[in-house]
């Protein structure tokens, strides 16, 4: 049996762009982890990341440096189309891998990554997927509420994630500045693959029930510089019979996640306002671990259910190691203790099967069944 890893665990960042900067501090603040190398095609970004973490951290532009002998764990934060090549190289070099979502730009590439990860697992290498929403304690509360029957039977779930980043990106690309998010080949789609994988994963995980059928529409309304869709609306059916609606866009703004059951409803709006309404009674969960105090109070809004609660729920920063659900810390602990990663690569491949079916449905206008 493989032994727990020797400490300190030595990590390399492959890609030090937008998202990587949000959780670099985890690798600075855990005293049993060292970030030894920061790699980015843009040397200034690699240097900036290295400086934030420590003076001994190397900054380089060569991806092979992420697999140097003194690296145990490679954290891959590069554009989607690079995930397969970089993950396979890291696993072949005997490194543990934490990979950004989505697993890859295509289902075939994602399956190749999952196969390589399964083989590497036999050699004691841990690989996992980073899904930032699992950092949010509220998501874990929602799962506990589903399990405890607080919602009754789940009839419907809803997710809207819309931001206007696509409009600016489209203008930049038309002005001659290339960006991987505007490329169908490099991203694997448009806003849907980038934004919806979070909710596909969360909803199936909360209910322990996979998606079995989808119907969707997707189009590019206002972002001519982007090859993929800038808006997509999908309906999912889960094995347990629940339906979900996912509305994703890069051309307007708004955020909401809701769960509707026969006995209770939760609506989480704008990433901060939580409204709960149930005939089962109040719910008090790990929400109380938030740095911002949760203020539960009765509201006078009309409703048929007995108990209504409203609360401000602010998600912890992605670099906060004190958050009990910090996904980077949890992955590093899994490597340290030789346990499976909190989120498997294989589960991310399942998400991409749903994304693939959504794009098929949007293109042929028919419902698409997902093979079990």
Q: Give the interface with ligand NAD as residue ranges (CB under 6 A).
A: 14-20, 39-42, 45, 63, 77-80, 82, 100-101, 132, 194
Burial letters 283-298, b for 16+ CB under 10 A, else e:
bebebeebeeebebee
211 contacts 372 by C-beta, under 8 angstroms: no
Backbone φ/ψ region at 135: left (φ over 0), alpha (ψ -120 to 50), beta: alpha
Instruction: Give the nearer residue to ligand NAD in terms of CB position, either 85 or 239.
Output: 85
CB atoms within 10 A of CB 222: 15
Tokens of 246: 């996912």
Sheet (strand 368-369) strand order: 307-312, 273-278, 264-269, 254-261, 154-162, 243-249, 231-238, 211-219, 368-369
Radius of gyration of the chain (CA): 21
Task: Compute the least distance from the CB of residue 257 to ligand NAD, in Å.
Answer: 14
Instruction: Give the nearer residue to ligand NAD in terms of CB position, either 129 or 211.
Output: 129
Sheet (strand 73-76) strand order: 58-60, 33-39, 9-14, 73-76, 96-100, 127-130
Instruction: Give the nearer residue to ligand NAD in terms of CB position, either 41 or 367.
Output: 41
Task: Compute the least distance from the CB of residue 307 to ligand NAD, in Å.
Answer: 33
Task: Compute the least distance from the CB of residue 194 to ligand NAD, in Å.
Answer: 6
Please identify the residue of the shown chain whose CB is closest to the bound ligand NAD.
17
68 contacts 37 by C-beta, under 8 angstroms: yes
Task: Compute the least distance from the CB of residue 292 to ligand NAD, in Å.
Answer: 20
Task: Compute the least distance from the CB of residue 9 to ligand NAD, in Å.
Answer: 21
Instruction: Give the nearer residue to ligand NAD in terms of CB position, either 8 or 79.
Output: 79
Instruction: Give the nearer residue to ligand NAD in terms of CB position, either 163 or 263.
Output: 163
CB atoms within 10 A of CB 372: 6
Q: Which of 250, 254, 255, 80 is nearest to 168 (CA)?
A: 250
Task: Compute the least distance from the CB of residue 150 to ligand NAD, in Å.
Answer: 27
Task: Compute the least distance from the CB of residue 76 to ligand NAD, in Å.
Answer: 8
Instruction: Give the nearer residue to ligand NAD in terms of CB position, either 229 or 277.
Output: 229
What's the angle, vertex CA 349, arms to CA 105 and CA 119, rounded to 5? 105
Instruction: Give the nearer residue to ligand NAD in terms of CB position, either 42 or 153.
Output: 42
Residue 224 is given by DSSP the state T
Q: Which of 82, 119, 122 is nearest to 102 (CA)?
A: 82
Q: Which of 138, 239, 248 is nearest to 189 (CA)?
A: 248
Helices 107-122 and 345-364 sit at what angle, rounded to 10 degrees?
Answer: 170
Q: Which long-range contacts (CB under 8 A, 24 or more apart) does 354-357 make?
A: 354/200, 354/211, 354/214, 354/236, 355/102, 355/188, 355/189, 355/192, 355/193, 355/196, 355/197, 355/200, 356/107, 357/211, 357/214
What's the angle, vertex CA 192, arms to CA 245 and CA 164, rounded to 5? 100
Instruction: Give the nearer residue to ligand NAD in terms of CB position, either 184 or 235.
Output: 184
Instruction: Give the nearer residue to ligand NAD in terms of CB position, either 151 or 331.
Output: 331
Task: Compute the least distance from the CB of residue 327 to ligand NAD, in Å.
Answer: 9
Instruction: Give the nearer residue to ligand NAD in terms of CB position, either 85 or 237.
Output: 85
Task: Compute the least distance from the CB of residue 242 to ligand NAD, in Å.
Answer: 24
Task: Compute the least distance from the CB of residue 126 to ligand NAD, in Å.
Answer: 19
């Amino acid at each position: 049996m493989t032994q727990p890893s020797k400490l300190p665990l030595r990590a390399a960042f492959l890609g030090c762009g937008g998202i990587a900067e949000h959780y670099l501090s985890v690798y600075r603040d855990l005293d049993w982890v060292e970030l030894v190398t920061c790699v980015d095609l843009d040397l200034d970004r690699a240097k900036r990341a290295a400086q934030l973490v420590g003076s001994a951290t190397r900054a380089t532009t060569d991806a092979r440096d992420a697999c140097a002998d003194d690296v145990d764990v490679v954290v891959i934060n590069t554009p989607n189309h690079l995930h397969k090549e970089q993950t396979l190289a890291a696993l072949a070099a005997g490194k543990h891998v934490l990979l950004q979502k989505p697993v890859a730009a295509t289902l075939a590439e994602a399956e190749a990554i999952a196969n390589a990860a399964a083989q590497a697992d036999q050699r004691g290498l841990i690989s996992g997927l980073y899904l930032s929403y699992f950092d949010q304690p509220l998501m874990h509360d929602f799962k506990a509420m589903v399990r405890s029957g607080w919602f009754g039977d789940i009839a419907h779930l809803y997710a809207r994630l819309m931001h206007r980043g696509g409009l600016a990106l489209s203008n930049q690309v038309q002005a001659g500045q290339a960006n991987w998010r505007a490329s169908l080949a490099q991203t694997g789609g448009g806003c849907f693959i980038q934004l919806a994988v979070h909710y596909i994963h969360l909803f199936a995980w909360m209910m322990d029930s996979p998606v079995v059928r989808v119907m969707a529409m997707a189009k590019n309304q206002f972002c001519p510089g982007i090859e993929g869709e800038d808006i997509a609306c999908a309906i999912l059916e889960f094995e347990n019979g629940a339906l979900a609606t996912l509305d994703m866009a890069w051309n307007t703004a708004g955020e909401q996640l809701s769960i509707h059951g026969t006995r209770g409803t939760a609506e989480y709006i704008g990433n901060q306002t939580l409204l709960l309404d149930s005939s089962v009674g109040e719910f008090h969960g790990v929400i109380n671990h938030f740095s911002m105090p949760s203020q539960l109070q009765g509201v006078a809004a009309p409703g048929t259910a007995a108990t209504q609660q409203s609360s401000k729920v602010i998600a912890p920063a992605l670099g906060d190691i004190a958050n009990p659900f910090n996904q980077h810390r949890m992955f590093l602990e899994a490597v340290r203790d030789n346990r499976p990663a909190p989120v498997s690569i294989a589960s991310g491949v399942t998400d991409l099967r749903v994304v693939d079916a959504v794009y098929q449905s949007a293109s042929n206008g028919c419902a698409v069944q997902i093979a079990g």
